[in-house]
Chain A
Amino acid sequence: MSLNHKEQHMTTTANTDVLTGLAEILEEVAGTPADKVVVEATFEELEVDSLTMVEVVVACEERFGVRIPDEALEGLRTVGDAVTLIGAAQ
């Protein structure tokens, strides 16, 4: 899955809400400090592996009322990618 980087880093109110929510979820599920959850951060840097990612996605689905299929996780590298993915699913 390829993402348009301009689009990915576009800051909107909705995206900010998603980012805040994602940071809270990452803190709860993976113990990631909220200040490290910025759009440029990769999940590898945040030490979020593929299994933790599944738990994060399940929590996001509940919180944002979206459905994210497993296939959509394949190209997911950065926090920005995840924010765009969730935003698009909303």
Chain B
Amino acid sequence: MRGAALTGLGAHRPAHREDNTAIAERTGSTDAWIRERSGIVTRGVAGEGEGVVEMAVSAGGKALAAAGLAPSDVDLVLVATCTLTQPVPGAAARVAARLGTGGSGALDLGAACAGFTYGLSLAADTVRGGTADHVLVIGSERFTDIIDPTDRGTAFLFGDGAGAGVVSLSEVDGISPAVFSSDGDSADVLKTVGHPPVLQMEGRAVYRWATVTAPGLARAACARAGLELADLAAFVPHQANLRIVEAVARALKLPDTCVVARDVVDSGNTSAASVPLALTRLIERGEVRRGDPVLLLGFGAGLTAAGQVVRCP
């Protein structure tokens, strides 16, 4: 029986950070209002040489190193992103080439903020099914390119960065079957418009969908893993907004033993990169240890969502 497990993680956080001061000034808002609405204090802003591809290469390389693998070991590269301003060609093949995977498979995933958790599920099943032994899953986003910097509702919310995970063949399975969900009838609440694309969001509708839907998906993902919420060492929901993270955690009545990721405070909403970035942060801080069960839950534009329980690498 072929199992699949997460064997390494990597993060790329842009060196340039931006706090709320300048954003508040140009959107007619205040630092206090932004913190109150989102919990966000600072976020990474990508500079020159930090495109979606470059950040993905940086995070992916670190994840491979953490897994003790060479780029040539990789059979498939999955890149989840929704911020490529030029949709063709996709990012994954370029990421694979720059990492030096030697012509491995490469595929872009368009599931916005749920991209990484969908990617993990596809990667795990690809490994279990025998198509690949090692799959590199990367979420990479450069919101700087698609945000209206003067939009009071979104300018403060998003950040740039990339996070990656390696899914490898393993005797012990460490990635549970995922739960999937979508609501395409509500597609318009979070979308880009125009060329070049600019992000538009109906904050209240997104907030309602996320806070109503996420708790049920979290419970279902736990059940699919054969666990109780009380068994979890950590909960890493998509870092959409601290208010959403707190509302979902409150609805789940998680015990104190379950750490809740709050990386959004320092990173903003980085869409497909948010789950791996937040999980990496928990590991760096020693808040979770190898083998700990962690519930991941991605949700966002589409609307679409996916979640699963993974064992920490």
Q: Which residues of A contact B (CB under 8 A)?
A: 49-51, 54-55, 57-58, 70, 73
Q: Across the interface, which residues of A come within 8 angstroms of B207, CB to CB?
A: 51, 54
Contact of A70 among B37, B208, B212, B243 (CB under 8 A): B208
Q: For chain A, what secondary structure do more than half of its interface residues adopt (helix, strand, loop), or is it mixed?
A: helix
* Chain B positions 32 through 64: 1 when the CB is less than 8 Å from some CB of chain A, otherwise 0: 000011000000000000000000000000000
Asked if residues B37 and A54 are in contact (CB atoms below 8 Å), the reply is no
A58–B213 CA distance with the chains assembled, in angstroms: 11
* Nearest-CB residue, chain A, relative to B36: A49
Q: List 24 A-B contacts (CB under 8 A).
A: A49-B36, A49-B37, A50-B203, A50-B204, A51-B37, A51-B203, A51-B204, A51-B207, A51-B243, A54-B204, A54-B207, A54-B208, A54-B211, A55-B211, A55-B247, A57-B208, A58-B208, A58-B211, A58-B212, A70-B202, A70-B204, A70-B205, A70-B208, A73-B204
Residues of chain A within 8 A of B243, CB atoms compared: 51
Cα distance, A23 to B205, chains bound together (Å): 24
Report B-chain residues with C-beta under 8 Å of the C-beta of A51: 37, 203-204, 207, 243
CA distance A73 to B202 in the complex (A): 13
* Chain A to chain B: the 5 pairs with minimum beta-carbon distance, closest first: A54-B208, A70-B204, A54-B207, A51-B243, A70-B205
* Docked CA distance A43–B243 (Å): 18
Report B176-210 residues with CB < 8 Å from chain A CB.
Answer: 202-205, 207-208
Additional 6 contacts, C-beta under 8 A, given A54-B207, A70-B202 = A49-B36, A54-B204, A54-B208, A54-B211, A55-B247, A70-B205
The CA of A50 and the CA of B33, in the complex, are separated in Å by 12
| Interchain nearest-CB distance for B124 vs A (Å) | 33
CA distance A51 to B153 in the complex (A): 12
Chain A residue nearest in CB terms to B38: A51
Which residue of B is nearest A52, CB measured?
B243
Rounded to whole angstroms, the CA-CA distance of A9 and B47 in the bound complex is 57
Expressed in whole angstroms, the minimum distance between the Cβ of A54 and any Cβ of chain B is 5
